[in-house]
Structure 1
Amino acid sequence: MNQLYKLLIEAGPLVIFFVANGQVGIFSATAIFMVVMIISMIASKILLGQISTMMWISVGLVVVFGSATIYFEDETFIKLKPTILYSMFAATLLLGTALKKPFIRNVMEAGFPPMEDIAWHKMNFRWGLFFIVCALLNEYVWRNYSTDTWIAAKLWLFLPLSFVFAMAQLPLIMKYQKEEPAEDTPSTD
């Protein structure tokens, strides 16, 4: 059930942003998105018992760039938010790789089985590269296509791409999963 809550908390605001944009336009949709992101953060605390670091950063950027979008009546700000977010994640993870500190472990460890350190180092590097690709892809889409296409890409391109990339990490996770110690079973003698 927690995985369903997590999916709704993470994907729900994007779906609402997509629908709101089609109904009321980018500026009103941005205001709605800001409110829904804050509601998602509260829901995360209530339903999952915590607010992830990634969510704090994402909500902070949505509020800052969303406010700038509305204040200046310039959609460029909200379009830049994903590039900045992805770039921050990439820089943090790749710095962790350089320092031999898999920062991704701090974010993801609770949702994974115990794994050997090498798995965390590899995942840290892979996700760092993935976020670079996402930042570049966001830049390409918002600069070359309409706002409606950019918003649709958030839902129909970036979300599935993230899911597929996460699933592609399963062989790595399985390969380096630590064996759990066998429980002592009482003898029937």
Structure 2
Amino acid sequence: MGKFNIPQTALGLTSVAFLLAFFFGGKDLIYATKVLLVSGLVAAVACAVFWRQTNWKTWGMLGSLLVFSGLTVYFDNEAFIKWRPTVINAVLCIALLIMYYSKTMPFKYLFAKHLELDLPDSVWLRQNIIWTVYFFISGLINTALVVFEISNEGWVIYKTIIGPILATLFSVIMIANLYRESKRYRALAEKRENLGE
């Protein structure tokens, strides 16, 4: 499949379907969630049948989508789908903290080889903490939107447009910072080699 990530694209399309269903379906969150549930099921089946290499993260996202949208539709209660981002962010925070204390470096696995970054483990471990803070703040924002009962329209716009834009910007900033750090460490290594000669 090359570098085109079909499972991730399928997952992204469920959000697009949800957004379109909400704004073109009378801004009915329950209806939009039904569309999300159906598109999530289609994405899960497609990934299972055609792209069996789908990783645990994609399956986790699809699973949470199906559970929370299913509960929303079954109980006819918007609260379930609205609390989903908070729960996901909380799970990611806990997972990254556990990985930090167990010296597991998921960002090194994700980026080091693909982006040709040569960094010490301390920098990769620090990424766990930085992203933990990011996910904590994201979860806090969603919690505030739900607790203070912002309109469904406002929540959907944040969830499907503003949130992803912020996540993309943060990712770009963090990758740029990793490149800068890698360049600095390479320069230091070259300086040491030159001094050693």
TM-score, normalization by structure 1: 0.79
Residues 1:147 and 2:152 are matched in the alignment: yes
Quote the residue 2:12 is aligned against: 11
Instruction: Give the direction of change, closer, same or farther, for the CA distance of 1:48–1:106 in structure 2 (3 Å limit).
Output: farther
List aligned pairs for 1:143-182, cutoff 5 A.
Answer: 143-144=147-148, 145-174=150-179, 175-176=181-182
List aligned pairs for 1:1-189, cutoff 5 A.
Answer: 2-3=3-4, 5=6, 8-24=9-25, 25-41=28-44, 50-106=53-109, 111-116=114-119, 117-144=121-148, 145-174=150-179, 175-176=181-182
Q: 8 Å contact 2:11–2:62 — kept in the other structure?
A: no
Gaps of 5+ in 2: 187-197
**CA apart distance, 1:50:** 2.6
Question: How far apart are the structure 2 equivalents of 1:110 and 1:12?
Answer: 28
**CA apart distance, 1:173:** 2.2
TM-score, normalization by structure 2: 0.76
**CA apart distance, 1:30:** 0.9
Give the aligned CA root-mean-square deviation in angstroms. 2.8
* Percent of pairs with identical residues: 20
Which secondary structure does the structure 2 equivalent of 1:169 belong to?
helix
**CA apart distance, 1:84:** 0.5
Which secondary structure does the structure 1 equivalent of 2:67 belong to?
helix
Instruction: Give the direction of change, closer, same or farther, for the CA distance of 1:78–1:168 in structure 2 (3 Å limit).
Output: same
Instruction: Give the direction of change, closer, same or farther, for the CA distance of 1:109–1:81 in structure 2 (3 Å limit).
Output: farther
The total of aligned residue pairs comes to: 179
Deviation string 1:121-176 (CA, Å, 9 cap, x unpaired) is 12222111111111111111223311121011112211001001101112332123
Instruction: Give the direction of change, closer, same or farther, for the CA distance of 1:81–1:111 in structure 2 (3 Å limit).
Output: farther
The worse-fitting range, judged by mean Cα deviation, of 70-79 and 52-61 is: 52-61
**CA apart distance, 1:28:** 2.1
Gaps of 5+ in 1: 180-189
Question: How far apart are the structure 2 equivalents of 1:37 and 1:110?
Answer: 31
The worse-fitting range, judged by mean Cα deviation, of 72-81 and 40-49 is: 40-49
Question: How far apart are the structure 2 equivalents of 1:94 and 1:150?
Answer: 28
Q: 8 Å contact 1:119–1:172 — kept in the other structure?
A: no
Q: 8 Å contact 2:89–2:135 — kept in the other structure?
A: yes
